[in-house]
Amino acid sequence: MQVIDNGRALSGKQQRIAERRGQIIAAARICFRRHGFHGAGMAEIASLSQLSVGQIYRYFVNKEAIIEEIVHRIVKHRIQLMLDNGNELSRMADDLTNDGLLDGADADINQGLMLEIAAEATRNPRVARILCEADAMLYRQGCEMLQRVYPQMSADRAAVLAEMMAVLCEGTALRVLTHQQKTDRAQLYQLYMRIFTTVFPSGPADG
């Protein structure tokens, strides 16, 4: 079986490395979700990924490197979904209203992991750096997409709108946890549409 990564065909050796890393990431996601970043030990991650602890250290130098890869994959996925969405206003309002957001099937797990990692970032500068770099990547892609969709938009304006969208997406994702309020979803959708049509230029994005 040939594995394709980023459009390139991988050699046999690269393929084995990619598979091993995938196994470790899958196991680590489960362990971090179960016990938090501190509670999850390399021994358990090794056992779940059916590798030895020594083998794991061949692929990731420490737990932070595993976190970095987890965050990187989540953000890559979110960028893809954001680009698919193409700043279509009604789709963004729908996502915000229905807690759909940017994560698809793994939304709950990814959101739990990102919270775990954000909590760790408040006390661990290396994890904070990982989170900052990932956010900068997502943010830059958001700005670039806005300028593609609205060619007249200035870079400053795109930056401010990207920041507002990031705030709305992350706030909504956080509130999914406690979201038992009796907010009328149709009215919330209307409110977001009102906001978007006010602050985004009317133009090619919303057909």
Stretch in the footprint of its own copies (CB under 8 A) among 2-10, 23-31, 37-45, 56-64: 37-45
DSSP string spanning 7-76?
A: TEEPPHHHHHHHHHHHHHHHHHHHHHHHHHHHH--HHHHHHHTTS-HHHHHHH-SSHHHHHHHHHHHHHH
- Show Cβ contacts of residue 58 under 8 Å, excluding neighbours closer than 6 positions: none
Binding residues for its own copies, rule CB under 8 A, total 58
Helix H or strand E segment including 183: none
Least distance in angstroms from the C-beta of 38 to its own copies: 4
182 is a site residue for its own copies (CB under 8 A): yes
Contacting its own copies (CB under 8 A), which of 65, 100, 107, 139? 139
**Which residue number, 5 or 184, has a Cβ lying nearer to its own copies?**
184
193 is a site residue for its own copies (CB under 8 A): no
Stretch in the footprint of its own copies (CB under 8 A) among 7-15, 23-31, 54-62, 161-169: 161-169
Task: Output Rg (C-alpha) for the chain, integer angstroms.
Answer: 19
Least distance in angstroms from the C-beta of 191 to its own copies: 5
**Which residue number, 51 or 169, has a Cβ lying nearer to its own copies?**
169
**Which residue number, 26 or 177, has a Cβ lying nearer to its own copies?**
177
Task: State whether residue 102 is helix, strand or coil.
Answer: coil
Cα 99 to Cα 63, 140, 169: the distances in Å are 30, 23, 9
User: For 174, how many CA atoms within 13 A lie in the half-sphere containing its CB?
Assistant: 10
Question: Which residue pairs from 11-15 have beta carbons closer than 8 angstroms and sit at least 24 positions apart in sequence?
Answer: none
Cβ neighbours around 15 below 10 Å, total: 16
Site for its own copies in 51-110 (CB under 8 A): 96, 108
Site for its own copies in 141-160 (CB under 8 A): 156-157, 159-160
Which residues contact its own copies (rule: CB under 8 A)? Answer: 33-39, 96, 108, 111-112, 115-116, 118-123, 128, 131-132, 134-136, 139, 156-157, 159-164, 166-172, 174-175, 177-178, 180-184, 187-188, 191-192, 194-195, 198-199
